[in-house]
Chains A and B, each alone.
Chain A
Amino acid sequence: MTTLGITINGQVHAPTEVRDDLSMNDYLREYLGMTGTKFGCGAAQCLSCAVIVDEPDGSCHTSPTCVVSAASFHGKTIRTVEGHARNGELSPLQKAFITHFSFQCGYCTAGFLNEGQVLLERLEKTPVPRAGLEELIAEALDGHLCRCTGYIKYHEAVRDVVLGDAKRYLLAEARG
């Protein structure tokens, strides 16, 4: 047994004892009932189970939850699909996923949302020239599997959010 204390979507979960071989995915889904984070393959292949990990230095990245222990998240701060909207207001990426019809069955959506959000926040810190954007989107989303819609509409949605607020995410053309 190991102690696990974690902050999820801003909510602090007081330290509890968990089995060492409990996966983070089961911790979220079976212990906390937070099933927005999906279970797809259990092998870090589809990444429908990915969550956002916020590091103390302000950076963030995604992590699958199915192949990692819950205990390894002790002391971490994470965000899940349930935490993107604020006071009922959807995030720009959530809105873009809807207006672009990015998903069909929706089972991969949480993973794409988290990955796309991490990319946006990375671009905000480190903008890139427009010319480099497509490769970054492709690279960021390539770990995620979608079986329904063939990816195009996810890519379009992320691209649209970036281009819709180009000042925030892209280097000015002159500099780029």
Chain B
Amino acid sequence: MKPATRLKGLVIVATLATSMIAAYAAGQAPSKGLASPESFNGIADTNARSAAIFTELGKVLTNPRCTNCHPAGDRPRQGDAMRLHEPPVTRGADGHGVAAMRCDSCHKAAKFDPGRMPGHPEWHLAPLEMAWEGKTVAEICAQISDPARNGGRKVEDLIDHIGKDTLVGWAWHPGFGRTPAPGTQDQAGALVAAWVKSGAACPAGR
């Protein structure tokens, strides 16, 4: 009955996981990186470089870790598949849910990995005017740069929001079953800083 003797003589062959398994394993694996701001130095035109930096940052902004809680409506999404959040919660008056179902009923001060449950003391939805769900990188850029549509924020504020905010930082350490946002929070912050510094130009197109 001793497990140690059980597999004696058995050759364990590690094999490639199927795509299905890979998808879940990916939740644990380090995600693809982000290009550094310096890697865009080769683009001579400042606006083009700035836009290119934002496009790189767009990999983060359009990631499910971000768009799920920047929904287009009142209901967040969840998971890598970006399903509508179940149970069916809505943002409520303050973005923290309605009285009967507050975000912090489930999302406690820290994530609880055994329950696959994300957490943070300020877990809540981004305001409706900051909806990113379904938007292109160019659209997000236009929105993010427009104080009339971003809650009166300056683009400089984004350096800290993306680079330092600990709620945002969860996106890079989401726990079991969720793919982290690309790169690291520092790298994303550096991209925002470089984008702002280069004039905060937006990519062309929709």
Contact = CB atoms under 8 A, between A and B. Distances in A.
A42 B115 contact: yes
A61 interface: yes
Contacts of B86: 45
B101 A143 contact: yes
A63 interface: yes
Interface of A: 21-23, 42-45, 47, 61-64, 66-69, 72, 115, 118-119, 122, 136, 139-140, 142-143
B87 A66 contact: no
B102 interface: yes
Interface in B78-96: 86-89
Contacts of B101: 139, 142-143
B100 A69 contact: no
The 10 closest A-B pairs by CB, nearest first: A67-B115, A143-B87, A67-B117, A140-B100, A21-B114, A44-B106, A72-B108, A69-B112, A139-B100, A63-B105
Interface of B: 86-89, 98-102, 105-106, 108-109, 112-117
B200 to A, nearest CB: 39
B106 A72 contact: no
Contacts of A64: 105-106
A23 B100 contact: no
A30 B112 CA distance: 19
Nearest to A47: B87
A109 to B, nearest CB: 18
13 contacts: A21-B113, A22-B114, A42-B115, A44-B87, A44-B117, A64-B105, A64-B106, A68-B108, A68-B115, A139-B98, A139-B99, A142-B101, A143-B101
A25 to B, nearest CB: 9
Contacts of B109: 72
Contacts of A66: 115
Contacts of A63: 105-106
Contacts of B106: 44, 63-64, 67-68
A119 B101 CA distance: 11
Given A43-B115, A143-B87, 9 more contacts: A21-B114, A22-B114, A23-B114, A64-B106, A68-B108, A139-B99, A139-B101, A140-B100, A142-B88
Contacts of B89: 143
A76 to B, nearest CB: 11
A42 B116 CA distance: 9
Contacts of A61: 102, 105
Contacts of A45: 86-87
B152 to A, nearest CB: 31
Contacts of B116: 43, 67
Nearest to B86: A45
B123 to A, nearest CB: 12
